[in-house]
Each structure stands twice: as structure tokens, then as C-alpha cells.
Amino acid sequence: MGALEKAFYSPAGKAISAKAGLKEPPRLRRGRTWPQGSIVLASIGDGGFGGGTIGAEALTLLGRATESPVVDDQPETPAGYGARIGALVVDATELISIPGLEELRAVLRPAVRAIEPSGRIVVLARSEQDGWEAKAVTRALDGINRTVGKELRKGATATLLYVDADASPGDLVSTLGFVLQGRSAFVDGQAWRVSGASQPADPLDERPLAGRTIVVTGAARGIGAAIARTLARDGARIVAVDIPPAGESLAAVANEVGGTALQLDITAVDAGAIIAAHVATRGEKIYGIVHNAGITRDKMLVNTDAQRWGSVLDVNLGAQIRMNEVLLDPKTEGGVMEGGRIVGIASTSGLAGNKGQTNYAASKAGVAGLVAAMAPDLASRSITANAVAPGFIETDMTARIPFVQREIFRRSNSLSQGGQPEDVAETIGYLLDPRSQGVSGQVVRVCGQNLVGA
Ligand SMILES: NC(=O)c1ccc[n+]([C@@H]2O[C@H](COP(=O)([O-])OP(=O)(O)OC[C@H]3O[C@@H](n4cnc5c(N)ncnc54)[C@H](O)[C@@H]3O)[C@@H](O)[C@H]2O)c1
């Protein structure tokens, strides 16, 4: 539990919140934990129940037993489960028509009623369909997912996964495992795509990053420090990068995770070469880079001068592009290996726009554009490029916001609370997993389904 979360549950925090009429937010299930109740699997099709099999096969690989769904097909007596259920996974990969959507409603209704706290609703759909109705229905699933996410309570979440026709059950394992486990605690109402990558049909690995070198920038504190800890837990050798003034805390984080510290301003023109040299002297290559370092210099656009504009764009975007160019050059000793991973940090402020943050929004939306641009170019070397977009996360930065304003921000999402740095870190860990090969060019928001913006 983070310091701020502790503060909320402290007697003083409870008293202030009660006075302000605020309910205690649900405690979220986190980490490598599975739902407690049973996992219900429904395969729906085109009005006749019976559809795709990839969901069932992926759940078998994950070692999860499943139960059959209760179907709401009696208007007089709404059907119900006898006990709470842990998750509903709906394989809608064969769904192409409006009658098929009724099948979805009929399995969702009883499940939403019975879902346990921090339970999961997961819908698997095809990313590409032929025909107007099928395409419209595929998009309709997005509206359903976003709405179910908003209606679910007590920390339960909804996720829509678009699965390419060439994806195998092995390609889905890391994604479905992440979504069902507590690692995805603060990812809600989101949709992203899994492509075919011919992953072997292996189960989830508890330490998927064992022995792999991962560079984390801005690792001295906040989200970066949490990323270093979470990736080290998953077996990674961490190269922790931060500016020289943060040297002491950087060294503390690097020691704690058994990694190495590299004091470096990432805006230096030779930053990429310095990182590569640091890694090469250890006889290693980089498996992953997490471009986490970022700054804000907020002002309304009418007050934003060239200095505020340039510094944010350079730290948050320009530096990243320069480092990528060097580190992804196959000739760079100590650069990124084949099968490597790039993860950028965007922000919901960037994607949705936020008053007073034109420079920051430009840089963070730019990160989303960057990974989309890089992904196809890197595919032939099996390197993926993705971004996470955090919403309100409990860090030193957000702790400085006055209490009432902070409460409004942190509650403006479907889970009624701020996320923890570890929630961002867990999502990055999922994208870095070697089994997440089929996920590239995507942005996964870690925002509890922020109610602000698109
Ligand atoms: N906290 C949130 O709610 C939130 C929300 C959305 C996105 N983000 C993003 O997540 C990332 C981490 O955020 P945080 O809240 O932990 O911020 P933070 O300010 O607590 O930490 C950022 C770290 O980056 C380092 N850094 C800054 N400029 C650097 C440079 N030129 N070279 C090397 N290191 C540099 C800082 O020294 C610091 O240690 C940032 O990219 C931020 O934009 C945060």
C-alpha cells in the first residue's frame, strides 16, 4: 500500500473523507493473484451459442479451470449464479451480427450481477471482420466494454481484446494472464490488439525477464523506481538511469534491485551511446528500454514560451527518439537485441488534452504516435514498441496537489481512486514479457478508466 493510500485508510484520512461525503474506495486485488471465484467461459457466435475456441485454449494454457455461463434467457425470472464469480471470459471472436450481441447481453447480465470485488469481465473479439454489419458490431463491443467498465463496482474491471485471425492461443497467454491477474488492477474499460506471433504454447512464466538487461530512465523515484522494482522481481537486470542531482536516490534504487546506476541527463546528444557503452562493458545487450523519465512545465498556452515548450518536448519525446535511433542500430555494441522491447510512457493528459499542458500533451501524444510508427519497422527483428498511458497515479508529484482538488482528480475514474506506481510498472512488465510478442504499436492506459477525455 502506498503512503497516500495508507493516509486515506488512516483514522484522520477517513474522518476528513467522511466529512467531505466521500466513500472509502475499494481495495484492489494486485500482483500475480488470480480471481478467487470461478472463471466462467462463454463462447458466443451468431445467435446460436457456439463460437470461437481461442479463449478456451488460452485458459487451458493458463491452467485455469472454467465453468459454463448462466444465460439470461427467461424474461420472467432473471437467471443468476449461486455464488459470486471471479471472472467472465467471453470468446466473441465469431460474433458478426446484431443477434450475436444479444447473446453477449444474455451472458453479461447475470455475470455483472455476480462478479466478485476486483473480478474481471473480458471479451475477446476479432480485430478485422468483413462486411458492414460485422464491422459495426465489432465496434459496438467497444461501446459495451467502456460502459460495463463504468457500471462495474468494487474494483471489478472490463477489458476488450481484439485478436487477429492469425493469433494462436499461445499468443494470447501473456495478455489474458495479465488481464485476469491483479497485475492489471488499474487497467479498466480499455481495448487493445493482440496479433499473431507464433508464441509457443507455454504457460505463464513467474519470472519472464530472468537474466534480461532492461534500461529504465527516470528510475530514481516515483513510477520509475516502481518499474525498476517490479521488473527486478520478474528477474530483470536493471540499468537505472537518472540525472546526476538524483544520484543518491538512484544509487539506492539500483542497489535495492541488484542493478547498476547510470547518472545521465537523457537530453545529452550522446545519451544513447553512453547507455550502450555502459551495457557493452558488462558484455551484455539491451533486452528492453523503458523511457520513463519525464517532466512537466505547465502553463496555459497563452503563457507558454519557447523554453517551456522546448524543454518538455525534448525530455519527453526528442531524447527518446535520439536514444532509440542509436540503441536500435544493429551496429551499436550494447544496443537492443533481436526480440527486444521498447516501452514509452504517454499520459491520459496527452491523449485527451489537458488545460495548461499543451507542451506536455504534445510530447505524450507524440509518444503514442512514435510507438505506432516504430512497431511495423521493428517487426522483422521481433522487437515490439508500445506505450502505457497513466492517469492519476499516487506519486510525490500528485501528493503536492491540495487535498480537495486531489480527491476530485483521483476519484474521476471508474475505480474511484488514484493508481499506484506499481500498477503502471506491472503493465510495463506485461508488455516486456517475451510472450507479449504479438502486442506492438499499442497504447495501454493505466488510468482506472479516467472519466476525462476520449
Ligand atoms: N504521476 C502521474 O500521475 C503520471 C501520470 C501520467 C504520466 N506520468 C509519466 O510517468 C513518468 C514518471 O512520472 P513520475 O510521476 O514518477 O515523475 P517524477 O517527477 O516523480 O520522476 C521522474 C524522474 O525522471 C527524472 N528525469 C527528469 N528529467 C530527466 C532527464 N533529462 N534525464 C534523466 N532523468 C530525468 C527525474 O529526475 C525523476 O527522477 C513521466 O514520464 C510522467 O510524465 C506520470
What value does the mean pLDDT take over residues 364-376?
Answer: 98
pLDDT tens digits, one per residue of 158-212: 999 999 999 999 999 999 999 999 999 999 999 999 999 988 888 889 999 999 9
What value does the mean pLDDT take over residues 361-369?
Answer: 98
Give residue 364's identity as a one-letter amino acid code: K
Ligand 1 centroid – CA 294 distance (Å): 4
The C-alpha torsion from 132 through 134 and 139 to 141, rounded to 10°, is 150
Q: Which residue has the cell 501528493?
A: 399
Ligand 1 centroid – CA 324 distance (Å): 18
Q: What is the pLDDT of residue 15?
A: 57
pLDDT tens digits, one per residue of 53-103: 999 999 999 999 999 999 998 877 778 999 999 999 999 999 999 999 999
Residue 57 three-state SS: helix
Residue 188 three-state SS: coil
Q: What is the position in ligand 1's atom list of the atom closest to the CA of 396?
A: 20
Domain 213-446 fold is Rossmann fold (3.40.50)
Please report which residue ranges of 120-270 form alpha helices under DSSP H.
Answer: 132-151, 169-180, 222-233, 247-256
pLDDT band for position 135 (cuts 50, 70, 90): very high
Query: What's the chain's average pLDDT?
Result: 93
pLDDT band for position 2 (cuts 50, 70, 90): very low
What value does the mean pLDDT take over residues 345-366?
Answer: 95
Q: What is the pLDDT of residue 11?
A: 55
Residue 386 three-state SS: strand
pLDDT tens digits, one per residue of 11-43: 555 555 555 566 789 999 999 999 999 999 999
* Stronger pLDDT, 170 or 8, i.e. the higher one: 170
Which of 425, 290, 304, 291 has the alpha carbon at shortest distance from 361?
304
Ligand 1 centroid – CA 418 distance (Å): 17
pTM above 0.75, yes or no: yes
Q: What is the pLDDT of residue 284?
A: 97
CA–CA distance, 128 with 195 (Å, rounded to integer): 11
Task: For a ligand 1 pocket test, name from 230, 242, 445 the mutation site with the most ligand atoms within 8 angstroms of its C-beta.
Answer: 242
What value does the mean pLDDT take over residues 225-249?
Answer: 98
Give the residue, by CA position, lying nearest to ligand 1 atom 42. Answer: 294
- The cell for 446 is 493505466
Q: Domain residues of the chain, as ranges?
A: 39-194, 213-446
- From residue 395, give the alpha-carbon distance in Å to each of 65, 406, 410, 443: 38, 12, 12, 21
Task: For a ligand 1 pocket test, name from 395, 405, 409, 412 the mutation site with the most ligand atoms within 8 angstroms of its C-beta.
Answer: 395
Residues designated catalytic = 360
pLDDT band for position 401 (cuts 50, 70, 90): confident
Residues 6+ apart with CB under 8 A from 70: 40, 79, 80, 81, 107, 110, 111, 114
What value does the mean pLDDT take over residues 423-435?
Answer: 98
Q: Which residue has the cell 523511457?
A: 291
Contact 233, 211 (CB under 8 A): no
Give the residue, by CA position, lying nearest to ligand 1 atom 13. Answer: 223
- For residue 105, count CB atoms less than 10 angstroms from its CB and return exposed for 0-12, middle for 13-18, buried for 19 or more: exposed
Ligand 1 centroid – CA 28 distance (Å): 24
Give residue 344's identity as a one-letter amino acid code: G
Which of 376, 375, 365 has the alpha carbon at shortest distance from 445?
365
Taken as a whole, the chain contains a residue count of: 454
Q: What is the position in ligand 1's atom list of the atom closest to the CA of 392?
A: 3
Question: Is 213-446 in the same CATH topology as 39-194?
Answer: yes
The dihedral through the CA atoms of 62, 66, 72, 76 has a sign that is: negative
Q: What is the pLDDT of residue 46?
A: 67
Q: What is the position in ligand 1's atom list of the atom closest to the CA of 393?
A: 3
Residue 183 main-chain phi, psi, to 5 deg: -60, -25
Report which secondary-structure segment, H or E, holds 327: helix 319-327
Q: Is 64 left (phi over 0), alpha (psi -120 to 50) or beta?
A: beta
What value does the mean pLDDT take over residues 103-123?
Answer: 97
Ligand 1 centroid – CA 378 distance (Å): 26
What value does the mean pLDDT take over residues 317-338?
Answer: 98
Q: What is the pLDDT of residue 17?
A: 58
Which of 125, 128, 103 has the alpha carbon at shortest distance from 46?
103
Task: For a ligand 1 pocket test, name from 323, 397, 401 the mutation site with the most ligand atoms within 8 angstroms of its C-beta.
Answer: 397
Domain 39-194 fold is Rossmann fold (3.40.50)
Ligand 1 centroid – CA 428 distance (Å): 15
Q: What is the position in ligand 1's atom list of the atom closest to the CA of 419?
A: 3
Contact 68, 85 (CB under 8 A): no
Q: How far apart are the first and last CA of the chain?
A: 29
Q: What is the pLDDT of residue 5?
A: 47
pLDDT band for position 51 (cuts 50, 70, 90): confident
236 pLDDT exceeds 50?
A: yes
- The cell for 6 is 495508507
Q: What is the position in ligand 1's atom list of the atom closest to the CA of 219?
A: 39
Task: For a ligand 1 pocket test, name from 216, 223, 452 the mutation site with the most ligand atoms within 8 angstroms of its C-beta.
Answer: 223
What value does the mean pLDDT take over residues 284-290?
Answer: 98
pLDDT band for position 1 (cuts 50, 70, 90): very low
Q: Is 40 left (phi over 0), alpha (psi -120 to 50) or beta?
A: beta
Task: Write out residues with Cβ below 6 Å of ligand 1.
Answer: 217-218, 220-224, 242-243, 246, 265-267, 292-295, 315, 345, 347, 390, 392-393, 395-398
